[in-house]
Amino acid sequence: MTDFRSLIPFGRSNLFRTGFDPFAEMRKEMDRLSDDLGRGWLTNGDGGNRGFNLPRVDIAETDQGLELTAELPGFDEKDVSLDVQDDILTIKAEHKEDREEKDEKKNYHLIERSRGSYLRRVALPFEADADKASAHLEKGLLKVIVPRLATEASKPRQIPVGSK
């Protein structure tokens, strides 16, 4: 039997180790890339106005319409705007603070709280009745209800059968 180890290029002889998965490193790198894909894509990371953060949402479709809950911590009602256009629900929340505080007693070493804009668009799977939509913001949770457009139930229509 031929020894195939002699055919392996220099430095790659560890391919035949027991339990070695040759695709493990590639899989690990692909996982890292997919985790990092969204970071910095829609936001600039420093809370500035050049990009948008995506609020986390829970979406449920019911017989009456759509129920959405979005996390918007630190926002007031005046900071949030909602609209429905072309069966797309748009949630936009923006901090509009233009003040600067200086405190000689505090030396910040880490600042993780950010100000910025949040934007989320959700395609509605039905024709919405935007006039009857409602929203409520309480303790950082925005709850939105978008009802379906009421359509008349189609009544069966009898078609008379005749002869010529």
Does residue 162 lie in a domain region?
no
Residue with tokens 């409520």: 136
Q: Which residues pair with 135 in a beta bridge?
A: 144
Query: How many structural domains comprise the chain?
Result: 1
pLDDT tens for 25-46 read 788 888 777 766 655 444 444 4
> CA 78, CA 58: separation in Å to the nearest integer?
22
Does residue 157 lie in a domain region?
no
pLDDT value of residue 132: 92
| Secondary element (H or E) of residue 60 | strand 57-61
Which residues of the chain have a pLDDT value below 50? 40-50
pTM: 0.56
**Containing structural domain, residue 143:** 57-98+112-147
Does residue 139 lie in a domain region?
yes
3-class SS of residue 21 = coil
Does residue 61 lie in a domain region?
yes
> CA 95, CA 53: separation in Å to the nearest integer?
12
pLDDT tens for 4-28 read 666 666 555 555 555 667 778 788 8
The enclosing domain of 124 has a CATH number of 2.60.40.790
Does residue 68 lie in a domain region?
yes
Q: Which of 23, 46, 30 is nearest to 111 (CA)?
A: 46
pLDDT value of residue 95: 76
Tokens of 81: 């705007």
pLDDT value of residue 35: 66
3-class SS of residue 59 = strand
Does residue 9 lie in a domain region?
no
